Amino acid sequence: MDVLAEVKKRVVFLDGAMGSELIRHGFRSETCPEEWNISHPEVIARIHAQYLAAGADIIQTNTFGGTAAKLGHFGLQDRVAELNTVAARIAGEVRDREAPECLVAGDIGPSGKFLKPMGELEPAALREMFAVQAAALVAGGVDLLSIETMFDLAEACLAVEAARSVAGERPVMASLTYGVTPRGYRTMMGVDPRRGVGALLEAGADVVGCNCSVTGDQMIELVAELRATTDAPILAEPNAGQPRLEEGVTVYDETPRHFATAGVAIVGQGANIIGGCCGTTPDHIAALVRALRP
């Protein structure tokens, strides 16, 4: 499937959350999610298979924290190539077995570090960090690269540039995380949708969008703002409601039915690619697909 051609014909479906699904399978926060690609490959494969069965056209690798900076929190900074490549191969094997027509996206999240002058990281070093991760995902066989949950536009653009440098003909998707403020939707660093979209496209993204932080209902308005700025394909991945703590566990209350209803409206405002972020499950994606697929 050529995703850039497909979005001109129909809505394309992404998968949902990986992190909250790992927790449902016994993952604990003191361990490294990406290490589970080695220690629990069967769990990762099962989650991918469940999203494909739900109707996802694109599954994303378990590599959200796959940069050296993130892996360094667990002493795994020297295993970037291994963990990312294995993750891509797991997803690819599941796709080949369960839904050969679907795609695997190499998932790239924020580094967790700040660029100078707010932090100590030089732009060139951060770009190289992302390039190493992206190259490992490409080596593992991904069909496209997905940069998501970025709150710092400068970091997001460096990630896009890095991905573009190793992607070849593979599409690069990039999404920022916006929150509701008195001035409208803004990233944590104060960037509005128009500026965010323009910068990501200039950096080389083929698809731009938004994910996390907001609910499906809020993302309806946000996607409308994004669509007003560009004719490029737009992706949207809302959360399953707002998180709350219940006996020390983060819970998301939005039902698959409500999530799907919001999803229909999000697509109506211009989203071409839609999936789910925090708290979403295969049931949420299945409901979304049923509501939107002819």
Mean pLDDT of 100-107: 99
Mean pLDDT of 246-257: 88
CB 12 within 8 A of CB 58: yes
Full 3-state SS string of 49-112: HHHHHHCCCEEECCCCCCCHHHHHHHCCHHHHHHHHHHHHHHHHHHHHHHCCCCEEEEEECCCC
CB 85 within 8 A of CB 39: no
Q: Which residues, listed in sequence order, are joined to residue 209 by a DSSP beta bridge?
A: 175, 235
Per the listing, tokens 């979403």 go with 280
Using 50, 70 and 90 to split pLDDT, how confident is the model at 249?
A: confident
Mean pLDDT of 64-68: 98
Using 50, 70 and 90 to split pLDDT, how confident is the model at 161?
A: very high
| pLDDT of 178 | 98
Whether residue 239 lies inside any domain: the answer is no
Per the listing, tokens 């020297």 go with 78
Q: Is the pLDDT reported for residue 248 higher than 80?
A: no
Whether residue 116 lies inside any domain: the answer is yes
Q: Model's pTM, two decimal places?
A: 0.97
Range of the domain at 89: 27-170
Distances from the Cα of 250 to the Cα of 29, 35, 123, 178, angstroms:
12, 22, 34, 20
Whether residue 279 lies inside any domain: the answer is no
CATH code of residue 90: 3.20.20.330
Whether residue 134 lies inside any domain: the answer is yes
Whether residue 112 lies inside any domain: the answer is yes
How does 219-251 read in b/e, with b if 16+ C-beta sit within 10 Å?
A: bbbbbbbbbebbebbbbbbbbbbeeeeeeeeee
Q: CA 28: distance to chain centroid?
A: 21
| pLDDT of 133 | 99
Using 50, 70 and 90 to split pLDDT, how confident is the model at 211?
A: very high
Using 50, 70 and 90 to split pLDDT, how confident is the model at 101?
A: very high
CB 161 within 8 A of CB 203: yes
Whether residue 278 lies inside any domain: the answer is no
**Mean pLDDT over each residue of the chain, to the nearest integer:** 97
Spatial separation of the C-alpha atoms in residues 192 and 194, rounded to whole Å: 6
Residue of 238, 239, 237, 146 whose CA lies nearest to 200? 146
Whether residue 70 lies inside any domain: the answer is yes
Whether residue 5 lies inside any domain: the answer is no
For the chain, the maximum distance between any two Cα atoms, rounded to a whole number of angstroms, is 50
How many domains would you assign to the chain?
1
| pLDDT of 294 | 78
